[in-house]
Amino acid sequence: MDATEWNARYAAGELVWSAGPNQYVETRLRDLAPGTAVDLGTGEGRNALWLAEQGWRASAVDFADAGLAKGRAIAERRGVEVDWICADVLTWRPSEPVDLTVVAYLQFPMPQREQLVTNAAAMTAAGGTLFWISHDRHNLEHGVGGPQDPTLLSDAEELASLLIRQPGDWHLTEAGRVEREVRTGDGTRATAYDTLIVARRS
C-alpha cells in the first residue's frame, strides 16, 4: 500500500491498531533508561506514545498524514509530547543518532527490507538499542493474520544476518520467533507468529 491508501484507511474510522503498545515493545523495552527514540512506521503512534509516557523523547515517523494526525490528537489528550514526522522510513534519518530505534510491522520485500535495516541501524547511536518486530515467514502457513504475500515476510535468521553486516559492533540480545495471541473475526483465539530482534550497538 502507498501513502494514499494508508491515509484512506486511517481516515475511514476509529483506530486501525490497538490503543496500547505492542506487547513485546512493552515487555522488552520497559526497563531501558529513557533517552531519545524513533518509532519508524508509527501509524497512529501507539508505540511512540507509550515510549513518551515512559519518559522517552520520542519521534514518530510515517508517510501517512492521517495516521499521524490521529496520534497527535491522542498525545494532546494524554498530555504527552511526541515529535510527529511525515517522511519515508527508508530514507529519513534524525539529525543525531538516537538511543532507541523501534521498527514494528514494517513489511517490505527485498531489497527495501535490507534498506530499512540499514537505515534503522545507522540512526541507532553507539550504546543504543534496535528493536524490531515483524510478521514471521512461519505465520503464512501456521499462524493467522499478517501479509499473505511471502515476499513481505522474513525470519530472525535473515534479519540478524542483515543487521550484523551493518557498521558498528552489534550484540543480539534476542533473535527468534515469538507467539502472539489474537482474536479472529468470529471471536475465537488464535496464534500469530512474529520475528523479534533486540540488538545493542556497542
H-helix segments, 96-200: 112-122, 139-142, 156-164
**Confidence class for position 1, pLDDT limits 50, 70, 90:** low
Weakest-pLDDT range from 7-11, 95-99, 121-125, 198-202? 7-11
Residue 151 reports pLDDT greater than 70: yes
* pLDDT the model gives residue 54: 98
* pLDDT the model gives residue 117: 98
* pLDDT the model gives residue 5: 74
Burial class (CB in 10 A: 0-12, 13-18, 19+), 169: exposed
* pLDDT the model gives residue 138: 97
pLDDT tens digit string along 7-31? 576 665 676 556 689 999 999 999 9
Percent of the chain with pLDDT over 70: 93
- pTM to 2 decimals? 0.93
Residue 6 reports pLDDT greater than 90: no
**Domains in the chain: ranges and CATH:** 3-10+19-201 (3.40.50.150)
- Tell me the mean pLDDT in the region 130-156: 97
Residue 45 reports pLDDT greater than 60: yes
Percent of the chain with pLDDT over 90: 86
Q: Tell me the pLDDT of the chain averaged across its residues.
A: 93
* pLDDT the model gives residue 4: 78
Residues 108-116: contacts with CB under 8 Å, at least 24 apart? 108/152, 109/149, 109/151, 109/152, 110/151, 113/154, 113/162, 114/162, 115/90, 116/40, 116/89, 116/90
- Tell me the mean pLDDT in the region 86-107: 97
**Omega prior to 111 cis, within 30 of 0:** yes
pLDDT tens digit string along 107-139? 999 999 999 999 999 999 999 999 999 999 999
